């Protein structure tokens, strides 16, 4: 049992404003649960410019940054902490490529193919590494209990 528990990994999943507006939340959560992820935490958040810019700080120098911040603040987002073995890469595989327009051709059963529109409006986010996942999970949820719980000593 301890062996299984230590193989667990967590990632941050987000339904972006276009996903919420298009009423894809229940559909996406069903896919998540049917794919064997546990949903450890979840909440709806309205990002402001400062928070959106901080979340995507790695892209701050890029041409699409201002547009990205505008998109990410255009309505609420729904953030979830997902857990299962290889959660980071498994969730990235489920959502598909960044450009939803291309996803509809190359990965038609992906989540971005289902609810995204183009390179920017791609309806979902996934952490790109375990390090990013740790940063993004604490960004939205602060310090939460770790995946492996130590048994209490009596």
| Catalytic residue ranges | 125
70 binds, among Mg ion, ligand RTP, none (CB under 5 to 8 A by kind): none
The span of 1-9, 28-36, 44-52, 125-133 binding ligand RTP (CB under 6 A) equals 125-133
| Alpha carbon distance 27, 42 (integer Å) | 15
Annotation: binding site for ATP: 16, 64, 92, 98, 112, 122
| Count of C-beta atoms within a 10 Å radius of residue 60 | 12
Q: Which stretch binds ligand RTP (CB under 6 A): 32-40, 103-111, 123-131, 133-141?
A: 123-131
Residue selected from 128, 130, 135, 147 as contacting ligand RTP according to rule CB under 6 A: 128
- Binder among 24, 53, 122, 133 for ligand RTP (CB under 6 A): 122
DSSP state string for 136-150: HHHHHH-S---SSPP
Contacts of 96 (CB under 8 A, 6+ apart): 103, 106, 107, 110, 111, 112, 113
Binding site for ligand RTP (CB under 6 A): 59, 64, 68, 98, 119-120, 122, 125-126, 128
């Amino acid at each position: 049992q301890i062996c299984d528990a230590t193989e667990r990994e967590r990632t941050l999943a987000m339904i972006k404003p276009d996903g919420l507006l298009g009423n894809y939340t229940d559909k996406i959560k069903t896919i998540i649960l049917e794919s064997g992820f546990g949903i450890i935490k979840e909440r709806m958040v309205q990002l402001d410019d400062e928070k959106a810019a901080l979340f995507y700080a790695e892209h701050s120098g890029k041409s699409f940054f201002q547009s990205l911040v505008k998109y990410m603040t255009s309505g609420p987002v729904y953030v979830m902490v997902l857990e299962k073995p290889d959660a980071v890469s498994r969730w990235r595989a489920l959502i598909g490529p960044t450009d939803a327009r291309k996803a509809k051709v190359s990965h038609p059963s992906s989540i971005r193919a289902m609810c995204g529109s183009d390179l920017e409006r791609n309806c979902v986010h996934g952490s790109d590494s375990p390090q990013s996942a740790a940063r993004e999970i604490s960004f939205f949820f602060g310090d939460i209990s770790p995946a492996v719980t130590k048994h209490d000593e009596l």
